Structure 1
Amino acid sequence: MPALSGIRVLDLSRVLAGPFCTSLLADIGADVVKVEPPNGDDTRHLGPFVEGMSVYFAMLNRDKRSIALDLKNDEDLRTLWSLVDRADVLVENFRPGVADRLGVGAEAMLARNPGLIYTSISGFGQTGEMSARPAYDLIIQAMSGIMETTGRADGEPTKVGESIADLQAGLYGSWAICAALVERGRTGRGQHLDIAMLDAMVSLQLTNASLLAADGTPPTRVGNRHPVSTPFGVYQAADAPVVLAAANDRTFQNLLALIGRPDLADHPTYRTDEARTAHEPEVRATIESWTRQHSAADVVALAGQQGVPAGPVQDLQQALDSVRHRGVTGHFQHPALDGMTALRQPVAFQNTPHASPSTTPELDAHRAEVLHDWTIG
């Protein structure tokens, strides 16, 4: 059986961070009931659409069941309370204070169900002077420092090409929920988990934090290369860019042999990683004098033969094709999306294979069965 079989999750969240968190739990067997407002999650109305179904919504809400409740309606609120009584986990990403006003705040829900893992995901957390501020992924990326270190040195701060702040908060949320469930198994007690997107993004920046800690100077943009190791970046081949990563002296010597310049191994500019990074433009020119004479495919193949890590710069379709055999992708089972590629959590559990296909919930489609299964109907 999947790892979280028998765990009941109430998903009151919407859009991205919370739904991604609960989709990861559904991937490993949790019974996730998505509680939506009467007009549905906002992402039901965001494109791209195929035959009226939002593919974005489907990606984020795979294998969940949907029930529509108006939390400003007393009867619907009582229905939710009854579901809470039988839930193991509740996930919400309202702005701090909103859940309390709706009657579904952490204190009230934990009073009803002391074993509940109540999970709040927000931009800036439940405490602090910024807690009430609205947050979007772009704002969090800007405030976290990641944009200031992303992009070319002579260019503007650049966002990462995915909503990584939302997704990272959701990923931390699923990790924290699993940890809290283990703790509950020891103590019998639930708890309130407070996850902030800004905290999550700051916590990822270990390389940049080490640079800041070392000399007190905030790191800035260096383009498509590593800030402290060389060669470790994107290099131009004859037909396309390619990535090379020689993170230690032995590998760099292999690279020098590959490009026909073993004589440079003892040159002061090339002898150590620190020296190579200090003279990165010169090192780059030496490497590209060779890579530009070969196709990207040949560079990757020849580097591999020489023991030098290398890879092509792939588009998303190429990336999907390269991991399909690993079970990272599946397909949807839905009249509009049938057969379309679905993403799922990437960990290979020895005891439970990836489930396929992924289902997509229609709004309020599971009301009767949820109320029956959760023994309140």
Structure 2
Amino acid sequence: MNHLELAFRNLQRRPTRSILTLLGVAVAVGSFITLYGLSRSVNENVQQAFEERGNDLTVRRRGVAEPFGGTVPEAIIPEIAKIPGVAAAAGQLLSFAATDNDDHVIAFGWPESSFYWSSVPLAEGRLPNPGERKFALVGKDIATTLGKHVGDDITLLGDKFHIIATTNYGSVINRNAVIVGLPDLQEATFRTGSVTYIAIRLADPANQAATDRVVKAIEGLGGFAVTRSESVLKNDSLVGLLDAVSSSMAWVALLMGVLMVLNTLLMAVLERTREIGILSAIGWSKERIMGALVIEGFLLSALGSGLGILLGIGGSRLLSAIPAIGRYIAVRPTPGLIAVTAIAAIVLGILGSFYPAFVATRASPAEALEHT
């Protein structure tokens, strides 16, 4: 009998315990993938939303913990636009707005001169006419959810807006957002003359030296923080809290899975003390016996990890299907995250099996054979 046959036979001897351990490892791995995927997806989705609209830099108020919690004076935009290396600058006001059905959507307020208008992917309808007011462009996904079409009205923050188009962006945030005129959103939110942030399009975004000069010039105006689109949430306190909580929960779940493997193997060792003594008596070395038990731990961890990957992918899709989450975040665990999690679970499972294996070989063959 070789190591693998012995490991399989031992797992089959107590099928209920083995299945429960496999499920424990699977749930731990699945939870780890889902929770880590959620925290990573927040940054990725925000980055995608900025990049597909042509953002290179974002100018925000300095000292505000939440990236979209402060306001910037709209009057500073022309001065920023004159800085060498800046191709275009446009303010955007952001607000979570209640609709007619007491549903909540992200509302973006854009000025008529914004460079964003040139890259709007229209699914249906038209862009606003010069000087037009109380219009709305509705993301395709949220339009479907709310049952809205071009020509309908939508209520935002108590004001009615006429839908002139639906947009077909790629990012989940933009597909669930409503775009209105900046003056209308400023009026509805009592923030006249202010924007949430200023979007910058660089003349040469690949030139790091030129970018650094632009950043230095803007920050020299005083009171502003400038970040690239991929770093806009880097110092966000809420995202940091989400990362900390999800990471802690993920690691606790993974360690619990490892403890289940350790507990299963330890119980198996205690139940098979006499059998282990016989193996030792017929010539099996301590290393060979330990190897068989470590392989048993590897099998439990590997099979549980395989099932956990399926649970993690399924859990991520389930989170994305929840409207309160799926409208703003598409939870997609990356292949790298899946691979690292599975490898970590297997390695921890193997390490956790060494203690039971040591216990199994600690007693002498004579002592083990006397065990009943």
Same fold flag (TM > 0.5): no
Q: Greater RCO between the two (CA within 8 Å, min separation 6)?
A: 2
Q: TM-score, normalised by structure 1?
A: 0.28
